[in-house]
Amino acid sequence: MTFRKVLVANRGEIARRIMRTCRAMGLETVAVCSEADQRALHVREADEAVVIGPAPSVDSYLRMDRIIDAALCTGAGAIHPGYGFLSENEAFARAVGQAGLVFVGPTPEAIAAMGSKIAAKRLMAASGVPVVPGYDGGDDAAGQGDEAFVAAAAQVGFPLLVKASAGGGGKGMRVVRRLEDLPAALATARREAKAAFGDDRLLVERYLQNPRHIEVQILGDAAGNVVHLFERECSIQRRHQKILEEAPSPMVDAALRQRIGEAAALAGRVIGYRSAGTVEFVAQRAADGSAEFFFLEVNTRLQVEHPVTELVTGLDLVRLQLEVAMGRPLPFTQGELTLRGHAIEARLYAEDADKDFLPQTGVLADFHIAPGEGLRVDSGVQTGDEVGIHYDPMLAKIIAWGADRGEANRRLARALRAASVQGVTTNLAFLRRVLAHPAWEAGDITTHFIADHAETLRPASPDRARAARIATLQRVVALDAERREVGGVLPGLPLGWRNNRFADPEVRWESGGETFAVGYRVLGAGRILTRSGGVEVEVELLGRDDAGDASSLVVRVGDAILRPRLVTRGESLWVHLPGEDVALTAVPRFVTAEKVKDVGSCRAPMPGKVIAVRVAVGEAVTVNQPLVVLEAMKMEHALDAPTDGTIAEVLVQPGDIVQADQELVRLQPATA
């Protein structure tokens, strides 16, 4: 079972993470990539790389045959699947073994045992692991029909959770609070489950009102030894997907830790688990302090959030996976494992948190996360990379360790405040707000945290006027440098000199739907007097450090000395200050005619595929009524009517591929 070369059947940050440990162990690495990823970081860092197909994952990262062929052609002895894609695919694990290669993960039998949530719950219940009450859909087609689920719902009670039997990540999952909403939820969940996992079987279970998502890392070897590496809390979620994780959990005391850890290890032994895996539970505490927990599922792979466990145990889970795959026994027993400090991970996504976390695309004009004490960054992108529609929108994980939860939180909050990610809308500002929220700081969290605190998590308006003054200084300094470099008709003429001494030059900036006119007067080299909104403020450049399109400045704005990071791309400019990012666009002096969008248009917010059209020409609709369902970045997005009106034209049909800002439906707005 020895091997010297590992093919990593994944992309992005997890591929880079696995390769890092392989290099430390002296193992050679092979990357696979789609045509869209040929210049990606994980490809550059591998010893060898193989292109396995076009951009869509179904034609590349999900092609078992091409991945196995790539391993055989390059002489790799093992395949590490990472997470997602084929990592929990029993057929892939089996095919890898049949090809004479080592699958770095659990056995196909263990994957099969946990691949169906229905079968997994039955097995765990029979083994004494507590499970959430529910209905698993039975063993035949009738049991999976709407009538059977409606009948079962009356027994389970509302609210209930509809879940896909295969897979996870929030796909095929819907919370249902009323019986009349169940059929639509079942239909949507089936579509998502079929598209994501090739299996549309569902189950329903009781939906706990104030649950916390607690998961336990387990590790097993081929000799049957299974240990747990303590718990993680993953309660901060949107769309049933995690965005913040920590270890240990603030709600788990020593007694509960022992109980839930023993249950997780038992689950691993029941299925003969080998390699790293995670047993997920939902838990809650009663008013009297007693705690209960229920089995959810086993993720038969490495988890996205594995770094927090590594930081509090001092272990390298990828190394342990590789050693177990080589046939080595676990190098420790349960009693030798201890917790050290606290770790928190934040997932940085390309998504708009202020628009229902809608995934975003674009080119990263800046990707800068400064190093810090106790800080770890696992990323798959760099400045200049394009974020497309074909893959998950996660860009990076920022993880902080501290002696206790407070220190870990402060370190992570500081790192997020200092981070500059520009060009693509991300959830960075939202993560900053969560970490500063009193309920989060107190550890008073549930899986409903975001919904419960929606009002207090709303964004505060940044100081756009101040950013416009700084941007104006940057432009004046750049113009001065250009003038000095190329000369001019009157090279000795001071910058900003005008033949009309009563009229100062002006720069106009657009930001957040507002226009900021900044007049300025040059007072000296790198020093201007700005006037905006009737207020005069002196702005001076005290120092700068340029790197490509980014500049780290030291400026004085009035009496305040600031250290902004500025990024320029054409007429766009981003000003980053700790905890604040402002995007600005220079407004041309002579404005050309712009396209005026029809107020009655329903447009695609991003590239994607039309899954369903819910209206027809001539139909009367009301504001916020669903018109079109778009699939993008592995999720369905309902696009609503922007106003009351009548459908004048339907411009797409199911199956169409559409681009960002493409008009899908045209309405005739209702007259007042």
656 touches 632 (CB < 8 A):
no
Task: Report DSSP state, residue 381.
Answer: -
Q: Bridge partners of 535? A: 532
Collapsing DSSP to helix, strand or coil, 73 comes out as helix
67 touches 9 (CB < 8 A):
yes
In the structure encoding, which two tokens stand for residue 404, read together?
């206790």
Encoded amino acid at 306, one letter: H
Whether 301 sits among the annotated catalytic residues: the reply is: yes
- Catalytic position from the list 17, 190, 301, 433: 301
Residues with Cβ within 8 Å of 297's Cβ and at least 6 positions away in sequence, in order, are 114, 117, 120, 168, 279, 280
Give the CB-side neighbour count of residue 127, counting CA atoms within 13 A: 18
Distance CA(541)–CA(566), nearest Å, equals: 13
Distance CA(410)–CA(26), nearest Å, equals: 36
How does DSSP assign 292-341, residue by residue?
EEEEEEEE-S--TTHHHHHHHH---HHHHHHHHHTTPPPSS-GGG----S
Q: Bridge partners of 31? A: 8, 49
Collapsing DSSP to helix, strand or coil, 176 comes out as strand
564: nearest Cα among 430, 439, 418, 440: 418
Distance CA(270)–CA(89), nearest Å, equals: 20
What are the catalytic residues? 301
